[in-house]
A = this chain, B = another copy of it.
């Protein structure tokens, strides 16, 4: 591959009749450039269609215009339906685009022994301006520490609020689940069941807490037989639903810790000929695309994934070269998506 003929900073300097350093100043919007000089240079840049070579820039400045988004690898294959990754990318890309940064995606398998080596290597080679760490990676100390040790600015994206020394962005998992529960209660439901998810994900515990918060805020008793444990899959949602609906004191509403399980509940209801939401209300969490594709459409909680990622990228980009990120957690609230699967409790 031959090096395509490219215009360099020198060409611009020559045309504008200034030194390359001045061009560099203009390109980087540094202070101390007379306005008239600035204009001359800008004209030359436009005329030659000059684009600074990133590699040269990185090499000289020890800092690149790349933001890296890392996330758990298998998720992309196992639950392509969820759109989780897609939404994170959407937000990251939005921020990158407007700041003329590029996004590099790097799924990694945290179960593998050498994630650490892989990440250090990535960082050494690319020298990203910053890294966005998506959940569940963001909750793994070894991963976070590894990145921290390289000195690369990073932002953790996590579903629950977490108290740490780093800057992170979270959503109000617990509160919004309480809100969903209160919403169901407000529809007249007295027996609201909850299907817990797999313990591995931190959000799960928070969601269950939110459910309990919501019950007590609605002055509803917590009943053990109305709580089941699934494993986040549709199948487990079906299983739990079947057991809940067989119980003599069966619920009039089922709130599942994720949408896949909610979809499982819906499937069982359909098969048993139970009218949704007439006889049974169903709510989920995550707002996967399926929610809008099934009939009835599923009421759920939409986490602000794109917004979180966008904010993360924006922060990283703006903080580059300047001060460190202040510790703390920024919360971006999730929203209830009321759809067809929830309605007034049956008489």
Contacts and interface: CB of A to CB of B under 8 A. Distances in A.
Contacts of A99: none
Interface in A262-304: 263, 267, 270-271, 289-290, 293-295
B1 A153 contact: yes
Contact of A81 (B2, B289, B295): B289
A318 interface: no
Nearest to A80: B83
Interface string A51-66: 1111110110011111
Contacts of A267: 295
Contacts of A59: 53, 55-56, 59
Contacts of A153: 1
Given A76-B89, A150-B4, A127 B295 contact: no
Contacts of A54: 55, 125-127
Interface in A29-73: 49, 51-56, 58-59, 62-66
B293 A124 contact: no
Contacts of A51: 120-121, 124-125
Contacts of A162: none
A290 B290 CA distance: 7
A105 interface: yes
A227 B106 CA distance: 44
A62 B55 CA distance: 9
Contact of A64 (B55, B77, B107): B55
A85 interface: yes
A290 B293 CA distance: 8
A87 B80 contact: yes
A236 to B, nearest CB: 14
B80 A289 contact: yes
A81 B289 CA distance: 6
Contacts of A85: 86
A121 B90 CA distance: 21
A208 to B, nearest CB: 25
A107 B93 contact: yes
A234 B124 contact: no
Contacts of A76: 86, 89-90
Interface in A82-130: 83, 85-87, 89-90, 93, 102-107, 120-122, 124-127
A93 to B, nearest CB: 6
Contacts of A4: 150-151
A187 B64 CA distance: 59
Given A85-B86, A289-B290, A124 B6 contact: yes
A202 interface: no
A155 to B, nearest CB: 15
Nearest to A295: B267
A159 B151 CA distance: 44
Contacts of A89: 76, 105
A321 interface: yes
> What 6 A-B pairs have minimum CB-CB distances, sorted nearest first?
A81-B289, A51-B124, A55-B58, A3-B62, A80-B83, A55-B59
14 contacts: A2-B62, A2-B151, A3-B62, A53-B59, A53-B124, A53-B127, A55-B127, A56-B59, A81-B83, A81-B289, A102-B122, A104-B104, A293-B294, A294-B294
